[in-house]
Amino acid sequence: MKHYDVIIIGGGPSGIIAGVTGKKQNSDKSFLMIKEEAKGLVPCGIPYVFHDLDDVSKNAMGPQPFVDAGGEVLVDTVGTVDLKAKTVTTITGNEFSYTKLIFATGSIPTIPTFIKGYDLKGVEYVKKSYNYIEQLKTRTDAAKNIIVIGAGFIGVEIAEQLAKYKEKCVSLVEMEKHCLYRAFSQDFAAKADTEVKAAGVHLYTETKVEEIVGKDGKVAGVRLSNGKTLDADIVISSVGYKPNTELAKKSGLELNSHGAIRVDNYQRTDTKDVYAVGDCSATRGFITGRADNIMLASTATAEARVLGYNLFCIKVLRNFTGTLSVFSTEINHKAFASAGAIEQAAEEADIKYVVGKFADVDRHPATIADTYPLEVKLIANPENGEIIGGELYGGKGVGEMINIIALAIQKAITVYEFVSFQFGTHPLLTTAPTKYVLVKAAEMAIAQINNCKKQSK
Amino acid sequence: MKHYDVIIIGGGPSGIIAGVTGKKQNSDKSFLMIKEEAKGLVPCGIPYVFHDLDDVSKNAMGPQPFVDAGGEVLVDTVGTVDLKAKTVTTITGNEFSYTKLIFATGSIPTIPTFIKGYDLKGVEYVKKSYNYIEQLKTRTDAAKNIIVIGAGFIGVEIAEQLAKYKEKCVSLVEMEKHCLYRAFSQDFAAKADTEVKAAGVHLYTETKVEEIVGKDGKVAGVRLSNGKTLDADIVISSVGYKPNTELAKKSGLELNSHGAIRVDNYQRTDTKDVYAVGDCSATRGFITGRADNIMLASTATAEARVLGYNLFCIKVLRNFTGTLSVFSTEINHKAFASAGAIEQAAEEADIKYVVGKFADVDRHPATIADTYPLEVKLIANPENGEIIGGELYGGKGVGEMINIIALAIQKAITVYEFVSFQFGTHPLLTTAPTKYVLVKAAEMAIAQINNCKKQSK
């Protein structure tokens, strides 16, 4: 039986980054990655396969950086793990022993068993599988009527992309009042609705799918709670993802209430020398410390770097104990981003907050060409002004601007500090120095805090 | 004699923001702003008047927000200030007494008296005066051969804008090895040279102007240190700015070695109830604490907010005691930005440093449309990994990305923290999560630090 110092199960972003970082830090150790498919995908690039990239091969992501660093890759599926014997056996009969084992098994789409007809032919999912997405692309190319269920990021992005084919009729159905309702407060989410519709998607919010209607065992339409029945050649279900932890559970690792593998701040499971990282591992909310189910390649790779550096001994401390959700997307050429606690999340978790809002254009003076409207919300703790969340809407600059807010949350920076914070500005690149939107939103938050104080006198 | 609680001399960004913020915080106090011209300009927008905006009126910035907040404005020029009597007299004979006085008199172009012919007709400056720039615009419109002396930000931006008129011959002359040499290290500055040339500007670096050649008392050409003489209808000198502190000096306020008014962290001069803010006030380097001469609207407005909040009593603490230079610009559709200590500045100040570099494209996967190359440098302290500077080159996202680095410097964040920092990423908006450029540059800096440690063993 061949022995490896480190075996990684899974070859997505967290498996690759844990492998690359770990191998670079420990060049004398042997690393094996076992992954199910030879080719991999950039997870967040999947929606763009359907139009902008137009070819699955353009969204390929492989373990080459890991191989370059000296790691070995085996394309196979792990069948069993023996945590006591410290061995791994694949379904093709390969057997290995390990010193350290990393679960990086990712997540899989939630199957909407609660919808009648979910098992019909033509009900598809957004699986993070190269081969599957390649087939799905062929099927959507051939379809005219496409219905996407669930208006989270993946659902919205795929619907927006498919609607770029003018001959297709694309509908998006969402139970909640707005698209992206987990990531944006009501007024920002309403803007997302507007952009989704402007992109040519038929959007049905506050609407349930009562039944996926079949004909000859194949999808024919979708019956909605508003009484309408929509024709469908294909239904794409994007109602969420769950941790892919069947193997971990079978092996005896402890899972949390979300079905994710329990880990400490250094991705260590309760079993010595066994780690979990990425979507399959448990996350805790940044503010509340509660079990959360954040699944993002960005946070997964942050965890993976921490794991890689610290695999054989803790060298680089993890400075942020909770997982901070930082979301961004672009719909119909408008960018949306959020980080940390948004209003409804704060309310749900009984967190007192104030909101500082400001709107401007993203260049200055406003007479300059190619400006976008830009809106910002800063969510802050009224006791000490700490920034706990933020939302942005505007042009492409929003993609990096949200990371200023993300850094502020992670370092417990206050709105009082933002007021004297020295930002760079330029006419062609940012808002004006006299009203840089993050500073102005901080000022608005301070005014709100002072109002709160007056009222409580 | 009319009395005001607060008199502000000057109506540029720092005067306006100090006035607006101060008045909002103290609605019961009377505020008067005395400014020399009725109309004002967005300072950093001036270069774009010459082409992209094409009209000075599109770059106007007035004190309206201050008036809206309840402040009064007088268009006049202050002739004398009596600090003992606490009075201000204008050249038209208006006299006022004050409780608090704010100097926000800005900066004026340095006159290159060291160049023969500097006083010829046709030698122009980039003055922050609406009327002057309006006339200069008319003159450049009529000119064919234009020579810009000094390739700092203003010189580079004006040359790039003027070169957009294909019928004009625009030359830019710089003594240093590269353009923007104060803000960028050698390799980044060399890229700036490339873009300046690609924009159609005739660039002469490592070249001195020996003489501005005249004919009938008017500019006719420029004789360079390389022996060449260039024809010129107009010469624009942009060799720097100096604090506009003649009045302050005459009044008896203490100036520093740069000619700027000495102030404390709350913009208070040595004379009680007298303040100075913006370009006319002294700044100290963020890392060294030494007298510096940073003149930026962004840092000026940050100071002005601190002053405005704290004019009658210190309420909002200034959290960053030094002035951090955060620069950004766009040349030929490529963005350049820097913050804090760059390599040559660190060397000049005897600061030990390592550089973490990384390059990628600014979207992901790299196959997606409209990507820009993106390069980053992080300058860090090898002892504890604190980030002390950074440089960026790429697409428009660079304008906000530099503010992540700026925040990191101001909060003494380390490259070790950046490794586990949770950034948001999206295919259409940012680099990939697996190799987010700031995280990768931090990793490279850590590798450099480890090399240093090995070598010093």
Distance separating alpha carbons of residues A87 and A9, to the nearest angstrom? 12
pLDDT for B318: 85
Instruction: Please give the single-letter amino acid code of residue B144.
Output: K
DSSP state letters, A258-311 = TSPBP--TTSB-SSTTEEE-GGGB-EEBTTT--EE----HHHHHHHHHHHHHHS
Q: Is the bond preceding A382 in cis, omega lying within 30 degrees of 0?
A: no
Correct CATH for B111-239 of 1.10.8.60, 1.10.3720.10, 3.20.20.70, 3.50.50.60: 3.50.50.60
pLDDT at A450 exceeding the cut of 70? yes
pLDDT at A455 exceeding the cut of 90? no
Tens digit of each residue's pLDDT (9 = 90 or more) over A106-123 = 999 999 999 999 999 999
pLDDT at B243 exceeding the cut of 80? yes
pLDDT at A94 exceeding the cut of 90? yes
Taking residues A402-410, report their average pLDDT. Answer: 97
Of B300, B330, B397, the CB nearest to A396: B397
pLDDT at A305 exceeding the cut of 70? yes
Sequence-distant (6+) residues with CB within 8 A of A3 are: A30, A96, A97, A98, A99
- B187: tokens are 């390799």
**Chain B residues 365-404 within an 8 A CB cutoff of chain A:** 365, 367-369, 396-404
Q: Which residue has the tokens 């504890």?
A: B384
Q: Which of B347, B342, B361 is nearest to B409 (CA)?
A: B342
Q: Which of A70-79, A128-137, B89-98, B288-297 has the lowest mean pLDDT?
A: B288-297
Taking residues B404-424, report their average pLDDT. Answer: 95
> Residue B8 pairs with which residues in a beta bridge?
B33, B102
Return the beta strands (E) in B177-308 as ranges.
202-204, 209-215, 218-224, 229-231, 234-237, 241-243, 274-276, 283-284, 291-292
Residues of A in contact with B417 (CB under 8 A): 319
pLDDT at A47 exceeding the cut of 80? yes
Contact A401 B403 (CB under 8 A): yes
Residue A293 pLDDT grade (very low, low, confident, very high; cuts 50, 70, 90): confident
Residue B455 pLDDT grade (very low, low, confident, very high; cuts 50, 70, 90): confident
pLDDT for B293: 86
Tens digit of each residue's pLDDT (9 = 90 or more) over A361-385 = 999 999 998 899 999 999 999 999 9
- B151: tokens are 């390739």
pLDDT for A314: 93
pLDDT for B457: 63
∠B205-B207-B209 over CA atoms, to 5°? 130
Contact A429 B398 (CB under 8 A): yes
Assess A294–B contact: CB distance below 8 Å, yes or no: no
pLDDT for B321: 75
Task: List b or e across B36-45, with b for residues whose CB sees 16 or more CB atoms inside 10 angstroms.
Answer: beebbbbbbb
DSSP state letters, A438-452 = HHHHHHHHHHHHHHH
Tens digit of each residue's pLDDT (9 = 90 or more) over B133-189 = 999 999 999 999 999 999 999 999 999 999 999 999 999 999 999 999 999 999 999
- B451: tokens are 């090399």
Tell the CATH superfamily of the A333-452 domain: FAD/NAD-linked reductase, C-terminal dimerisation domain (3.30.390.30)
Distance separating alpha carbons of residues A38 and A29, to the nearest angstrom? 24
pLDDT at A319 exceeding the cut of 80? no
Taking residues A281-306, report their average pLDDT. Answer: 92
Q: Is the bond preceding B47 in cis, omega lying within 30 degrees of 0?
A: no
B308: part of which helix (H) or strand (E)? Answer: helix B297-310
Task: List b or e across B159-170, with b for residues whose CB sees 16 or more CB atoms inside 10 angstroms.
Answer: bbbbbebeebbb
- Give the strand pairing for A274-276 and A95-103: parallel
Residues of B in contact with A329 (CB under 8 A): 426, 428-429
pLDDT at A317 exceeding the cut of 90? no
Contact A428 B48 (CB under 8 A): yes
Tens digit of each residue's pLDDT (9 = 90 or more) over B262-284 = 999 999 999 999 999 999 999 99
pLDDT at B447 exceeding the cut of 90? yes
Sequence-distant (6+) residues with CB within 8 A of A168 are: A143, A144, A145, A146, A162
- What distances in angstroms separate CA A344 from CA A123, A186, B123, B195, B261, one per listed residue? 32, 9, 61, 47, 49
| Delimiting residues of CATH 3.50.50.60 domain(s) in chain A | 2-108+242-310, 111-239
Residue of A nearest to B385 (CA): A316
DSSP 3-state of B230: strand
Assess A332–B contact: CB distance below 8 Å, yes or no: no
Residue A457 pLDDT grade (very low, low, confident, very high; cuts 50, 70, 90): low
Contact B428 A369 (CB under 8 A): no
Residue A321 pLDDT grade (very low, low, confident, very high; cuts 50, 70, 90): confident
Cβ atoms B300, B278 nearer than 8 A: yes
pLDDT > 90 in chain B, percent: 93
- A194: tokens are 């507007």
Residues of A in contact with B52 (CB under 8 A): 368-369
Q: Which of A122-126, A137-141, B318-322, B440-444 has the lowest mean pLDDT?
A: B318-322
Of B298, B398, B419, the CB nearest to A316: B419
pLDDT for A320: 76
Q: Return the number of other C-beta atoms located less than 10 Å from residue A138's C-beta.
A: 11
Contact B330 A424 (CB under 8 A): no
Residues of B in contact with A68 (CB under 8 A): none
| Chain A to chain B Cβ contacts (< 8 Å) | 270
Assess A248–B contact: CB distance below 8 Å, yes or no: no
Assess A51–B contact: CB distance below 8 Å, yes or no: no
φ, ψ dihedrals at B170, nearest 5° = -110, 125
Contact B45 A419 (CB under 8 A): no
pLDDT > 90 in chain A, percent: 93
Interface test with A, best of B425, B438, B440, B449 (most A CBs within 10 A): B425
Instruction: Please give the single-letter amino acid code of residue A168.
Output: K
Distance separating alpha carbons of residues B409 and B345, to the nearest angstrom? 15
The answer regarding whether domain B333-456 maps to CATH 3.30.390.30 reads yes
Residue of A nearest to B421 (CA): A302
DSSP 3-state of B268: strand
∠A72-A73-A74 over CA atoms, to 5°? 130
Taking residues A338-356, report their average pLDDT. Answer: 95
Taking residues A194-205, report their average pLDDT. Answer: 98
Mean pLDDT of chain B: 96
Cβ atoms A22, A267 nearer than 8 A: no
Tell the CATH superfamily of the A2-108+242-310 domain: FAD/NAD(P)-binding domain (3.50.50.60)
DSSP 3-state of A45: helix
Distance from CA of A353 to the nearest CA of B (A): 20
Taking residues B364-382, report their average pLDDT. Answer: 94
| Delimiting residues of CATH 3.30.390.30 domain(s) in chain B | 333-456
Q: Return the number of other C-beta atoms located less than 10 Å from residue B30's C-beta.
A: 17
Distance separating alpha carbons of residues B352 and B287, to the nearest angstrom? 12
Residues of A in contact with B300 (CB under 8 A): 433
φ, ψ dihedrals at A415, nearest 5° = -65, -30
Return the beta strands (E) in A297-384 as ranges.
326-331, 334-340, 354-361, 373-380
What number of helices (H) and strands (E) belong to chain A? 12, 24
Contact B298 A423 (CB under 8 A): yes
Sequence-distant (6+) residues with CB within 8 A of B161 are: B47, B48, B50, B51, B52
Contact A425 B401 (CB under 8 A): no
- Sign of the alpha-carbon dihedral angle for B103, B109, B110, B111: negative
